[in-house]
Structure 1
Amino acid sequence: MTLYYSLVFVLLVLEMVLFVALIIPMPFKAKRKLFNFISESPIVAKVQYAMKITFIFILILFLDSVNRVYRVQVEMAALSKDTSGAGRAAAMGSERMEVQARKFYSQRNMYLTGFTLFLSLILNRTYGMILDVLRLEEKVKMYEGDSQAGGKEGEKLSGRYRADQIGELKKQLDKKDKEIEGIKKQSEGLRREYDEISVKYNQTNPGSGNKKIN
């Protein structure tokens, strides 16, 4: 294996390690810190830019390996047609082995570069999906009143709508409702007492008619 294909193989192994690291379950705080560092670090940004250039070269190697596989297939088809005589058959046998060896190496290089490119696309998409999930989780935690979610914005939001404060406000609201119900019952009792007093007053003062006390 040549040097650049050896480097492609190392890159493929690194991609597999990164993919496993991305899908490993982690606590929300640790995952948020890790992805914030990846998305905000200038060093990581430079590495990502260099990797994009590297993948362009890998794409060129992939196209070259596909071309080599096609040419080897054409040679194999030509050799299978040109078989006449015992000596010629022996010579053709050695040539066929050489062509098959070149076919094997070309296919190996094609699969190596192809899987490296394919896994890079999967990593990019997985990274974007995890970022989207983290943003949604931060929004949910901010609305629930978690002060550690969303940075400064989450602290402001949680300061106003913290979970314990919401519970306290609900208790106060229930208390006010009970007080209102008590006031309503009190007013109804006072109204009944007023009606009774009005009836008694009319009975003791017949000249006033059936009018109630004003």
Structure 2
Amino acid sequence: MTLYYSLVFVLLMVEMTIFCALIVPLPYTMKRKLFTFISENPLVAKFQYGMKITFIFILILFIDSVNRVYRVQAELSMAKNQGGAAAAAAGSERMEVQARKFYSQRNMYLCGFTLFLSLILNRTYSLILDTLRLEEKIKKYEGDPKAQGKDSAKLSQAGEAGEIGKLKNQLAQKDRDLATLKKQSEGLSREYNTLGDQVSGQDSTPKKDR
């Protein structure tokens, strides 16, 4: 196994360890502090950013391994179509092709499982954050004073980052709509004043005696 595939295997083991740590049942207070630390620590944020770049390279390795499996499979098909004495003479070559097929499939499965587990970890982390937020809300409704702490507020902010961005976009759209309505209102006001001046001018004009 080459160096970069060895690193992918190490990363797969790390992901499995993190996944097992996430699904381990912990007390509510400990779990809240742990996820608050993860969501606020700048080192963890940098680590997550570096992992995103690493997964891009793993995706490239996965595509390359799939391509290699396809090419080796094509070579095996050509060898089977030859048949007879040519196939017997090329027995050692077929063994080499089989070995390459095995290594290519191993690399494909290794990269594929690593990428798939990264998606599972991301989704599991989001679901746990959502669960903690719901538990915070339930405890607040029940009047639990522990649910009003600083950690709960930070955890809620970490889980609602996407919602805040969405609300900001909606607020900007409403500001634009309000500015458009204001311009329309000013135009209507000017037209109303102009018509009022014209009507008052016509009323003030003296009528000629017949």
Match for residue 50 of structure 2? 50
* Partner Cα separation in structure 2 for residue 110 and residue 60 of structure 1: 11
Match for residue 81 of structure 1? 81
The Cα shift of 1:144 comes to: 1.2
* Partner Cα separation in structure 2 for residue 110 and residue 154 of structure 1: 42
Match for residue 122 of structure 2? 124
Match for residue 103 of structure 1? 101
Change in CA separation of 1:150 and 1:91 when aligned onto 2, cut-off 3 Å: farther
- Counterpart of 1:8 in 2: which secondary structure? helix
Structure 1, unaligned stretches of length 5 or more? 156-214
Match for residue 177 of structure 1? none
Change in CA separation of 1:154 and 1:20 when aligned onto 2, cut-off 3 Å: closer
The Cα shift of 1:153 comes to: 9.6
Amino acid at match of 1:104: F
The Cα shift of 1:84 comes to: 3.5
* Partner Cα separation in structure 2 for residue 153 and residue 39 of structure 1: 11
Higher RCO (C-alpha 8 Å, min separation 6): 2
Match for residue 64 of structure 1? 64
- Counterpart of 1:50 in 2: which secondary structure? helix
The Cα shift of 1:92 comes to: 1.4
Match for residue 113 of structure 1? 111
Q: Scaled by the length of structure 2, what TM-score is found? A: 0.70
Change in CA separation of 1:67 and 1:154 when aligned onto 2, cut-off 3 Å: closer
| Contact 1:11–1:116 (8 Å) recurs in 2 | yes
Identical columns (%): 73
Change in CA separation of 1:42 and 1:153 when aligned onto 2, cut-off 3 Å: closer
Change in CA separation of 1:126 and 1:153 when aligned onto 2, cut-off 3 Å: closer
| Contact 1:75–1:99 (8 Å) recurs in 2 | yes
The Cα shift of 1:26 comes to: 0.4
Match for residue 23 of structure 2? 23
| Contact 2:79–2:87 (8 Å) recurs in 1 | no
* Partner Cα separation in structure 2 for residue 113 and residue 3 of structure 1: 14
| Contact 1:79–1:96 (8 Å) recurs in 2 | yes
| Contact 2:140–2:147 (8 Å) recurs in 1 | yes
Amino acid at match of 2:127: M
Match for residue 146 of structure 2? 148
Change in CA separation of 1:152 and 1:74 when aligned onto 2, cut-off 3 Å: closer
Aligned-CA RMSD value: 1.6
Amino acid at match of 1:84: G
| Structure 1 position 33 matched with structure 2 position 33 | yes
The Cα shift of 1:82 comes to: 1.5
* Partner Cα separation in structure 2 for residue 154 and residue 45 of structure 1: 19
Amino acid at match of 2:67: N
Query: CA offsets, 1:136-193, max 9 Å, x none?
Result: 00111112121111425989xxxxxxxxxxxxxxxxxxxxxxxxxxxxxxxxxxxxxx
Amino acid at match of 1:93: G
Amino acid at match of 1:49: Y
- Counterpart of 2:84 in 1: which secondary structure? coil
Amino acid at match of 1:16: M
Amino acid at match of 2:64: D
Specify the structure having the higher radius of gyration (Cα): 1
Match for residue 188 of structure 1? none
